[in-house]
Structure 1
Amino acid sequence: MNSKPKKILIVEDERPLSRALELKLSNIGFKTRVAYDGEEALDFIKKDKFDLMLLDLVVPNISGFDVLLRLRQSKNKIPIIITSNLGQGDDLKKAQELGTLKYFIKSDVGIAEIVNYVKDFLDNNLKNDKDKK
């Protein structure tokens, strides 16, 4: 892996899940930061650059969809993976239209599957970055 760890912002208000994601991703070499609501997530994004965001759509203060919309309106291109309990077709379509990478319905997947997807994406993205040099 690159000498500078990739940074992941986890936006998740369910503390056991956010802690589990944080631990699993940190253990495989990623630097993580957790935001427990949408407002905190936007503050972190203003102050720091992240390589990826894991975003729950149902979080306090500012919803995940509003976070996503504000980021896209500001031309922020951070790759975003949705992790949510919302699984309606309209939600999936809206997230896709806003340029998300993947949509995980939390009740349908385990943490390992999410972590593996993140690792594969960032490892492949890292290889692509090296190819551009």
Structure 2
Amino acid sequence: MKILIIEDTEQVSRLLKIKIEKWGHEARIAATGKEALDIVKQEMFDLVLLDIFLPDAIAYDLIPKLKLGWSGMEIITMTGHSSRDVEEKVRSQGILYYMVKPIDLGELESIIVHMSKKVSSR
């Protein structure tokens, strides 16, 4: 499975990339919304891990733009600043899952395992 990590904290994005690759998947990192949009214009991803608050974008503005390229892409949002309003906004855009940081890596691995089975059956 091919996963795009959109996260502006380098330590978090590197840790996620290492874990995802250890779990047997391909991972790519983008630190900004603009970088992510440039990447998805050139490559397709099965899953996106999206930090809700990026330096140049907020997830609920970015999600529709990410989905333009390929509607089959699933999105998991991540935030360290959870609020009911933000959660409702991103959930209304059809995200797969909403995670609060610090990320529970066991939970993330379970989701990715489940997703990879779904993707391989397409």
TM-score by length of 1: 0.82
Partner amino acid, structure 2, of 1:115? E
Paired positions, count: 121
**Aligned-pair CA distance for 1:71:** 2.9
In 1, Cα distance between the equivalents of 2:57 and 2:17? Answer: 21
Contact 2:6/2:30 (8 A) holds in 1: yes
In 2, Cα distance between the equivalents of 1:123 and 1:96? Answer: 23
Contact 1:21/1:115 (8 A) holds in 2: no
Match of 1:126 in 2: 120
**Aligned-pair CA distance for 1:75:** 6.6
Q: Which has the larger radius of gyration?
A: 1
- Unaligned residue ranges in structure 1 (runs of 5+): 1-5
In 2, Cα distance between the equivalents of 1:75 and 1:43? Answer: 11
Percent sequence identity is 31
Match of 1:10 among 1, 5, 8: 5
Match of 2:16 in 1: 21
**Aligned-pair CA distance for 1:66:** 1.7
Contact 1:39/1:61 (8 A) holds in 2: yes
TM-score by length of 2: 0.89
Contact 1:7/1:52 (8 A) holds in 2: yes
Of stretches 97-106 and 56-65 in structure 1, the one that deviates more from structure 2 is 56-65
Residue 100 of structure 2 corresponds to residue 105 of structure 1: yes
Match of 1:31 in 2: 26
Match of 1:43 in 2: 38
In 1, Cα distance between the equivalents of 2:54 and 2:24? Answer: 26
Q: For residues 6-59 of structure 1, what are the alpha-carbon distances to aligned partners after superposition, in whole Å with 9 as ceiling and x for unaligned?
A: 110000111111111100110111010000111101111101010110000111
In 1, Cα distance between the equivalents of 2:111 and 2:119? Answer: 12
**Aligned-pair CA distance for 1:91:** 1.1
In 2, Cα distance between the equivalents of 1:39 and 1:100? Answer: 20
Match of 1:3 in 2: none
Partner amino acid, structure 1, of 2:61? D
Partner amino acid, structure 2, of 1:125? V
Residue 52 of structure 2 corresponds to residue 57 of structure 1: yes
